[in-house]
Chains A and B, each alone.
Chain A
Amino acid sequence: MLDKNGIAKRIAKELEDGYFVNLGIGIPTLVANYIPKGIEVEFQSENGVLGMGPFPFEGEEDADVINAGKQTITTMPGASFFDSATSFNMIRGQHVDLTILGAMEVAENGDIANWKIPGKMVKGMGGAMDLVASAENIIVAMMHTNRAGESKLLRKCSLPLTGVNCVKKVVTNMAVLEVTDNGFKLLERAPGVSVEEVQKATEGKLIIEGNVPEMILD
């Protein structure tokens, strides 16, 4: 079973040289710590920065330079700042290659829910609806089950949707799954997790073909 950093590490292997990537809040933010050696990627944050760098050293933070999670950040050589409309033109216009975001639920047809629990939690969708409606490649980073132990990979989402038919891949603490026309295809198992355990934790249709390999993280 992976922890949050393990999920981020596995997703980082999906990065390709020359990618512009938008990272959501939470586990996706950790992906920036595991960029494979020898490739160049640029991180976009929808509040208006391309070429985001690491957190600043203590004392060097600038209130005017933050990411979409409102955290202080730095910029890399070649970075740029822009307004919110320009930022979403990058996203809507499919200039950003990959979107990595968290979710409360993902359905076997690629629907995603991550912005609202009616009567309980209403924080808003932020940029998530624009991102999932437009990005060509969307990877969800999340735990396989919720705190109550229930599957987050479902036949149909029970929560209000963020987007329809959009998720391409899901990386959880238990597995890597591809969203296909027929359901979740199990691509890899986390170290020490069996196919049966993944099956038990997956409510949506799970497709198992042949011998499912264990993830290679390093």
Chain B
Amino acid sequence: MIRKTVAGVVEATEGVKDNMTFMLGGFGLCGIPENSIAELVKKNIKGLTCISNNAGVDDFGLGLLLQQKQIKKMVSSYVGENDEFERQMLSGELEVELIPQGTLAERCKAAQGGFPAFYTPAGYGTEVAEGKETREFNGKMYILEKAFEADFAFVKAWKGDEAGNLVFKGTARNFNPCMCGAAKITIAEVEELVPAGSLDPDQVHVPGIFVQKIFQGKNYEKRIEQLTVRKR
């Protein structure tokens, strides 16, 4: 077995620098790499390009990096929950590339799987298609989208083992598996790090080959963005 475990977030994030491109898993605040984000805030590295479906909220998730003006550019599909984000975007301080959610997922998967580009119908005829190659297949129009290139991918799983195998829970899975192995280095933080052999190989969601470093996360807040309940 090839061991992927590191002591903690400090060792895991060795090598992150100004002006790098990061992928960050999560949908809203669900399944975000909380420990890694906190460490990036602490390191206060700047000029970052962040590929993430959302930009967090004002005081949590990627919103924490935005507050310190660490992010130069965001690549996201939906950014509606963050006032500071909107302010920075409208004032021109922050560069933003909005792309369809399925395209975002697939550009990660393409990078993971060695495809330079792919055709998708999403965004055809809209401003998303501007400047992109288009092509017809079987009477329908598609646009060419390219694989992402990133330095680090930060993902969060429910459980993981010493070999870097990952298991997710519920909808906290989202973009995390797509980003594993899609950047030069993938850092996985987990709620529960278990010895090799404790995960059933049949139940592994992401094989450890896609993960370079794994560590036991701490103090997960797992904030709920829209608590919605019904009466008994």
Contacts and interface: CB of A to CB of B under 8 A. Distances in A.
Interface of A: 45-49, 54-73, 81-85, 87-88, 91-92, 111, 119, 122-130, 133-134, 160-165
Interface residues of B, number: 60
Interface string B216-232: 00000011111111111
B30 A70 contact: yes
Contacts, number: 186
Nearest to A52: B171
A10 to B, nearest CB: 23
Interface in B123-163: 123-128, 158
A126 B98 CA distance: 9
B222 A125 contact: no
B189 interface: no
Contacts of A82: 173
B47 to A, nearest CB: 22
A81 B126 contact: no
A97 B168 CA distance: 27
A63 B226 CA distance: 10
B189 to A, nearest CB: 15
Contacts of A58: 229-232
Given A123-B80, A134-B121, A164-B124, A88 B105 contact: yes
B78 A126 contact: yes
A127 B102 contact: yes
Given A83-B176, A84-B175, A130 B229 contact: no
Contacts of A165: 125
Interface string B45-71: 000000001000000000000000000
A57 B78 contact: no
A83 B224 CA distance: 19
